[in-house]
Amino acid sequence: MISYKPIGIIRSPFKEPKGTPIQAAAAADVAGIIEVGPEYAAGLKDIAGFSHLILLYHFHLVREPSLVVKPFLDNEPHGIFATRSPARPNAIGFSIVRLAKVEGNKLHIRDVDIIDGTPLIDIKPYVAEFDVRADVKSGWFESNVHKLSSTKDDGRFVGSYEVETRVYFADQKEAYAAVPFLKQSLHERFEWETATYGLDLFKAGKLLRVSVINRGNQQKVFWGCKGPDIGKLYNIRLEQDEEITGGVQASSILASLKGPDVPVAPDNIEQVLASLGYEKFMSFAGTNWTGSYEGVALKLMVCPALPYPVLVEFEKTACTPAEAFEQEQELQAFVARFGLEKRVIKKEPPTLLYESWPPV
């Protein structure tokens, strides 16, 4: 076992993976600050003489390592060591950044592709005579680097915590009357059918499900996995969702379930889940309308199989449990602002359904 202590922290404008540039080379001029721990400040002597620094840091938001990944720049899977993907067995990141200014133990840097709050493991000076190579071959990147500047992190390597609560109504009319912003904030409608798998997993608080979504005449299939609820007031769960409509080569959900390295598609998902011992035990269907209001995602769910046939869900997402607990407080204030506290149902739809199963 090796253990390293961070020597500092990296500050950047990027608060979450989604939307962050995928390399420093595609983050021209993005400014950040390295706050080096005071106990390491003496180690910065002479650093101002360098225009560029090599930063080694810990991808602290990555959840599961994966040996085969679908990187941002390609739709084909590649071995993790042939990529710069964050989901590495040792989650070490490497960026060459520009040094703009040294101010005591603060280093002002540019070209930052790193998320705010990332623990810094090491700084090395970039030395062209050591670090620039000629006759370089860049493997599978060669036919994909043209996508560099237009590609951003889409959040695929981090789990996100959903923070959600829901309130019940007798019908849609009652919901629109009680939630004043609802009707004008819902913009999308779709029909869904969701099957849940692995009764033991479900009883242990996890949720494994496959959903078929119909929007107009377009059908998509997703599968997803939610971790146990860690919410104090509402539901907070680590959530992973993956679209499998056209088949997925290196499924991150399958990797986190320690499943076999096989492609996952709508026509083999049952078989893949059965091979892991997860059989289908429940399914239900309904219609959703979705939208957002003041940064809160909204969902109006009409599902006749549930004991509460009309539910309005309020949801936020967070990268870390600490952020999720803050958002839980914000959601509580949101619910209180509209006088909806008495209508809150903490249990999620699959639990409500299971407790009333089979539906009458």
Ligand X SMILES: C[S@@+](CC[C@H](N)C(=O)[O-])C[C@H]1O[C@@H](n2cnc3c(N)ncnc32)[C@H](O)[C@@H]1O
Contact (CB, 8 A) for 328 and 318:
no
x-marked contacts with ligand X along 133-152 as a string, rule CB under 6 A: --------------------
252 binds ligand X (CB under 6 A): no
C-alpha distances out from residue 251 to 82, 93, 144, 177, 260, Å: 17, 22, 21, 43, 10
Q: The tokens of 189 are what?
A: 């409608």
109 binds ligand X (CB under 6 A): no
- Binders in 214-243 for ligand X, by CB under 6 A: none
| Least distance in angstroms from the C-beta of 49 to ligand X | 24
118 binds ligand X (CB under 6 A): yes
164 binds ligand X (CB under 6 A): no
Using the rule CB under 6 A, give the single segment among 36-44, 111-119, 224-232, 235-243 that binds ligand X. 111-119
Distance of alpha carbon 246 from alpha carbon 266, whole angstroms = 8
Residue from 30, 158, 236, 324 that binds ligand X (CB under 6 A)? 158
Contact (CB, 8 A) for 36 and 53:
no
Residue 223 burial by Cβ neighbours in a 10 Å radius (0-12, 13-18, 19+): buried
153 binds ligand X (CB under 6 A): yes
**From the CB of residue 218, how many other CB atoms can be counted at a distance below 10 Å?**
9
Residue (21 or 198) nearer to ligand X, CB: 21
- Binders in 290-309 for ligand X, by CB under 6 A: none
Q: Could you identify the residue written with the tokens 């990268």?
A: 319
| Least distance in angstroms from the C-beta of 83 to ligand X | 8
Q: Could you identify the residue written with the tokens 């409608």?
A: 189
Using the rule CB under 6 A, give the single segment among 91-99, 175-183, 269-277, 289-297 that binds ligand X. 91-99
Using the rule CB under 6 A, give the single segment among 87-95, 121-129, 256-264, 321-329 that binds ligand X. 87-95
Alpha-helical runs (H) found in the chain: 128-131, 172-178, 182-185, 199-203, 252-256, 269-275, 321-337, 349-355
61 binds ligand X (CB under 6 A): yes
Q: List interacting residues with ligand X (CB under 6 A).
A: 17, 20-24, 59-62, 72, 84-86, 93-95, 113-115, 118, 153, 158
